[in-house]
Amino acid sequence: MAVPEGGAPAGPEVGLQRMGRGKSDRVLWQRRRLASRSGKDSRRQGRPGDWYWEAYLERAQKRYRERSVKRRVKGAESESPDEAEWTFPLERKAKLHSIPRVKETRDSDGETSGIFKVPKQQPRRPKIRFSLAPKLSRRWSQWSAAGTRPRGSVINELAKMGDPDLLEMVEQEGKRSSRDITYSIQMSEFQKREQSKDSVFFRDGIRQIDFVLSYVDDIKKDSDLKAERRKEFELNLRKTGLELEVEDKRDSEDGRTYFVKIHAPWEVLVTYAEVLGIKMPIKESDIPRPENNPLRYMLGPVKLPQEVRFPRPEYFTAQFSRHRQELFLIEDEATFFPSSSRNRIVYYILSRCPFGIEDGKKRFGIERLLTSNTYSSAYPLHDGQYWKPAEPPNIVNERYILYQNWARFSYFYKEQPLDLIKNYFGEKIGIYFVFLGFYTEMLLIAAAVGLACLIYGILSMDANESSTEICDPEIGGQMIMCPLCDQVCDYWRLNSTCLTSKLSHLFDNESTVFFAIFMGIWVTLFLEFWKQRQARLEYEWDLVDFEEEQQQLQLRPEFEAMCKHRKMNPVTKEMEPYMPLWNRIPWYFLSGATVTFWMALVVSSMVAVIVYRLSVFATFASFMESEASLQHVKVYFTPQLATSLSGSCLNFMVILMLNFFYEKISAWITKMEIPRTYQEYESSLTLKMFLFQFVNYYSSCFYVAFFKGKFVGYPGKYTYLFNVWRSEECDPGGCLIELTTQLTIIMTGKQIFGNIKEAIYPLVFNWWRRRKARTNSEKLYSRWEQDHDLETFGQLGLFYEYLETVIQFGFVTLFVASFPLAPLLALLNNIIEIRVDAWKLTTQYRRPVAAKAHSIGVWQDILYGMAVVSVATNAFIVAFTSDIIPRLVYYYAYSTNTTHPFKGYVNNSLSVFLIADFPNHTAPSEKRDFTTCRYRDYRHPPEDDEHKYLHNMQFWHVLAAKMTFIIVMEHIVFLVKFLLAWMIPDVPKDVEERIKREKLMTVKILHDFELKKLKENLGINSEVFSKQVLMEESKAQLAKSTI
């Protein structure tokens, strides 16, 4: 029984009024019963029930108007809210059968009249929201048999007007259908759960989920503000055309998280595809793919299947226009835009959608909402589970294809599916893997040459005259060397460094010069060929006319919050936040001071490691001398080697600790600078991080290569660090073996630690996050919850990947003359790195928002700078750290043995010192029966009183040769670099031709389309129009030829 809002149920007066109705009313009710009994006759007579219900509706409206005027019910003020309004049949099933029943009484004429048994305090009549149920009442079935079934609009109108006779029908229908409705609801909920467990669609199974927002409805003091922000934000999202569907927290696994699923309909996609200038296919390309590799038959095992390498055919493309949709190859609107483009479009809207006005400023953007914890996360969905293909109705699971053909470690020798990576993750991430793969391919050449140099060193080890003389008991065993530290250290014999001298020859031989020059040329070839690869990539991925991504140029919320001034933007002619330079200067000074302080801290830590080496060396030396059990180990494990290994390991641990803390400090300092855009933020952070990492990782290598053993002095007049610790000396064979040890430990340790961290860190965090939920099985909860529990890649995810690669590039190029195996170690690391990065992106991280990029950005400039510096560092390493230049000077200027020119070199390179000239505080405590000792330098002997212990002429000859070698090597390498850069074009010729061909075809297709559209609009005869066009073109050509 239903009345409009504010009405009351029919009381005794209304019932008596109904009992006193005229005869015409009774006739109408009798006709109603007769019509329900004679359905067949009714159908034969052209469905008179329709006329009857129209007449009944008119009569009911008249009665409603009469009751609304005469209704007077006492006690209506004390109505119960629970009984005042109820909804049928879905919302309030529990209250369905508690409605007061109608008491049937018979009047004098024997007709049944519905009179309510009115309680003492009569409640407000319940409002019925009528809806058709699966199983209907007996009266409904009678109407159906009679062919006079009332239309839904009639029933709803009657319900709105509160016709009392409908209550009985609704009650009977509710009794029969409540169980069916409950069952249907349970079945629909079950089907929804089954369908949405791994579905990327809304509950209807049609609309694809393009983005997901999540939040936890907390009860903190600002919860109301956050709720209001979310309400306004989601309302504005709907105004932009996006469709939203909310998953209640009761349906989530943790019982706390709400999920807002976002779908971009076709109208939104086409609008913002035009705004973003997304290029879409207009015609399949007739240009064949390049297959000019002569080794393609030999490289068959490393190739992927054709459908994985090229998942889509090549097309001629044009910037999408919603007004020229007929131009584009739109077969299916649901799959026309790839998922990466869809989530990029949605993120573009999210980043610009306003959510209110606070402090007089308009606030907008999902990033600000994430920063304020209004939303806990925002991410696009993966296509499905990575371990199984998609099942209908889901789309093709590209995540599964990537995992099977890219992220598995058993495919380490296979090429990468670059087009598929670009389609799934976007161009910015795709170009990183292209760069890493190209860098790894180029390392194959450098690793092969470096390995050949090492093999040469192994083969020529026995023929090395220097190590032979050092190991000879009659030569090296008879040379008494001066103590390596004061008082504690004793004299020692040269042949005790026999093993070290042989190992040093592996990396310090004639091939060292060749490899240093080769790596200088290799760096140039790598960078020039990368420019070509990048140009080819721009063509293949439609990035030729690329403009900087607008997300990178968007104002940061932190900048807007801190700005108190505004000025006119000369481009957009809009008022924008503005921060004067004088407001930023203090933060710039703080930033510079902080970076300088941390770089000084790195240098201080390096000095501390040097002090450790100096203080520990004496301990190692005295311990090995005193322990008789270590005498046989001393041949292989000298005090110098023990100090070098322990010092390198300690230095590596210090590097890792400083790096961990500086990452936090640099991010904080960069925020304090208040960069205007995300691009400025990333550039500032890149500069700080690279400067620090450069100093942190390479400072110890620079020390060993260019400072250790160069400013030692000579016995009796050594130099001291802080007037306490004596400066370190190099091994008689040179410092190159120590530099090699340092490089091996730092480079190998960093790569192993980095790969373990990248693999274990997200795995452990994801496991712990799933463990905190109700279940830790990924197979039991929905697609958006699975992705929600994954680790976030973040906006700086690629930044750290590039930083790691560039630091490795520095190890490969800056000090490669001392360690020919560096390219090989980098090659092995990169093979693992590619698969680790692929595995974590595919399985352990949320899907990043797709973004465009046409190059590796500022990192390319850093690589060019390191390439130039590497030429100088390798030249200095060969000249000052290696022993090759002194040996060549001896060979050409001082050797007297024509048969064996290097014979006598060891004796020539060691000077003589008179033990009696030792100061008392430096001489060993024990007295010896020999009068002189040897040390590595070119000085006059003690017998020459006039030039005693001064540098001799050979020292200056060697120094001049070293400087000459540096100048000659640098000029040769730079000349070759410039020649190669000039000879190798930045854009390959075939790519230029393809770009021209595509532009020509695109213009032609657009012209033909517009011409056809114009003819259709004007209704011109195509033959006549084409003749006119040909005539005009011939006239234009004739005019050109005449000119």
pLDDT tens digits, one per residue of 882-916: 888 999 999 999 988 888 888 889 999 999 999 88
pLDDT value at position 58? 67
pLDDT value at position 858?
A: 87
Q: What is the pLDDT of residue 102?
A: 39
Q: Apex CA 659: angle with CA 658 and CA 665, to 5°?
A: 85
Q: What is the mean pLDDT of residues 157-184?
A: 44
Percent of the residues in the chain that have a pLDDT greater than 90, as a whole number = 25
Structure confidence at residue 630 (pLDDT): 55
Is pLDDT above 90 for 265? yes
Least confident of 10-14, 176-180, 678-682: 10-14
- Residue corresponding to tokens 């020649």: 979
Q: Is the pLDDT of residue 34 over 50?
A: no
Q: Which pLDDT band, with edges at 50, 70 and 90, does 920 fall under?
A: confident
Determine the Cα–Cα distance for residues 505 and 460; give it in Å rounded to an integer.
9
Which amino acid, one-letter code, is at 378?
Answer: A
Other beta carbons less than 10 A from residue 264's beta carbon? 26
Tell me what the mean pLDDT of segment 447-476 comes to.
90
Computed over its alpha carbons, how large is the radius of gyration of the chain? 43
Q: Residues, the chain, total?
A: 1043
pLDDT tier for residue 183 given thresholds of 50, 70 and 90: very low
pLDDT tens digits, one per residue of 770-816: 776 654 444 457 889 889 989 898 878 898 999 999 999 999 999 98
Distance CA 872, CA 520 (A): 9
- In whole angstroms, give the CA distance from residue 342 to residue 863: 34
Collapsed DSSP state (helix, strand, coil) of residue 970? helix
Beta partners for residue 316, in sequence order: 283
| 572 has a pLDDT exceeding 70 | no
| Tens digits of residue pLDDT in 308-343 | 988 888 888 888 988 888 889 998 888 899 999 999
The pLDDT tens digits for 190-203 are: 444 455 567 888 88
> Which letter does DSSP use for residue 404 in this model?
I
Q: pLDDT: is 631 or 490 the higher one?
A: 490
Highest mean pLDDT among 166-170, 601-605, 733-737: 601-605
pLDDT of residue 271: 92
At 530, list the tokens: 């990368």
Distance, in Å, from the CA atom of 978 to the CA atom of 973, rounded to the nearest integer, reads: 9
d(CA 751, CA 754): 5
Q: Say if residues 318 and 327 touch (Cβ distance below 8 Å).
A: yes
Q: Is the pLDDT of residue 596 over 80?
A: yes
pLDDT at residue 108, rounded to an integer = 38
> What is the distance between the alpha carbons of residues 328 and 231, in angstroms, rounded to a whole number?
37
826 has a pLDDT exceeding 70: yes
Question: Is a pLDDT exceeding 90 seen at residue 244?
Answer: yes
pLDDT of residue 375: 93
pTM of the model as a whole: 0.76
Q: Is the pLDDT of residue 11 over 70?
A: no
Higher pLDDT residue, 542 or 362?
A: 542
Top-confidence residue, 514 or 254: 514
Task: Quote the CA–CA distance of 198 and 391 in Å, as a whole number.
Answer: 9
* pLDDT at 106 > cutoff 50: no
Model confidence pLDDT, tens digit, residues 334-357: 889 999 999 999 998 998 898 888
More confident residue, 1040 or 423: 423
The pLDDT of residue 618 is above 60:
yes
Per-residue pLDDT band at 430 (split at 50, 70, 90): very high
Higher pLDDT, 837 or 688: 837
pLDDT of residue 292: 57
Residue of 815 and 61 predicted with greater confidence: 815
Parallel, antiparallel or unpaired: strands 361-364 and 725-726: unpaired
